[in-house]
Chains A and B, each alone.
Chain A
């Protein structure tokens, strides 16, 4: 497992952020997590513009976890932008949403998400999910280099 791995989480729900941060810590990958609170911020982070110019502080992520419903830009809009912008096109994306609406799932995959996961309700499930993300996406899975 590569030592320097970064995960960018985009969510506007403070609670969900807190729960996920907690689960990341529990899985001992808390330090890998960077968080933004809206869709526009994701794009700015990835472009390294504005507040996100410092790549030391805001390193390019190896995995993007996107909430579906966010202010300024929705998760799907961000995904759409991403898939049309080199070199971020190849960035692995997990959609993490409380929506189980089929058209949302359909749309997300059409726009090129790598996974679609409904937000777990309880801590036990959440912890399990984060453990799996760590094992698979940050472990076994090889990711393309993004410069």
Chain B
């Protein structure tokens, strides 16, 4: 019976989500999900999977049905003084508290504030490239991308430049320690503790003598007559390093990967017109973003695709799958910086654009849209344009590359190449 055979061919074994094949190349499973199981109940992993573009968008927009908090926002328990990591906006659901904390800090990463930091961004790129440009070759990740965003953030915070290498060390331990798997957690926690010990006197100093830096602003920031507690500020700094550093570092690597291996023909276009780095960033965020999934819980029964998701069910929203949905983009599996069906340039939190085109889902949408989106974009574009401008005749060192993959999934699902070697004329 053809129908039964079809059903079998399109059936999903939920254990596939844990397999190395999925980490290397999730896109075939994404397609199966979108086409045959747009709402998939994964009984193995005890959650529901949403994969189509407009369903992911819908879930992000529907704060009444989908909440980010793992626990009931209206629950009885109120834990307090023993927090280990410090307050962190990422774990908040849809609440006034979330909006308060977000509004306190979001403004620091957009508009005039961001523009004010761009000279530093350029300077750091220049300094890193100065070290590289005589080498004739470079391993981009260890020598450039993993150094770049952390130095930007530490400068934004107004931390002394001479201590930058120490911050890089903390950052790397934090990333290893704060990954989803909790691997090496104690080392990450130790690094974070050292960092906080370092910040404590600085924060007191900045309260007495405020400067123009981000740390001073966080210390002084007030909304509705309240300020962030020291714990909240320190927690936010740790978050900044993890969410703002690691992701941007990987974004830059991904952009170069695509220019060297996926569409080297388009690298010529970009070299001729460096404004196109903005398109490279956008198309990278659509084609294979750094973050592929976000998690939610339903706060009530939700009807989707003729089924009912129960209350307090775990949901996984696959941004990486939505971005490849033919229902939103033509030839979605083609990487093309000139595509005309994707909104290019600065993203909107709403996911809606006056040009009527859909945007990519890589930053999420709505209430919890990435706060650092403008900064990430600017940093990545500046880093890539400077690199392209200052290193001549950039080409891949190796003809083949294993491709983008998630790192060991024990460390979380951020996607990027493990290594990326470039050659250039020194």
A binds B: no
Q: Which residues of A contact B (CB under 8 A)?
A: none
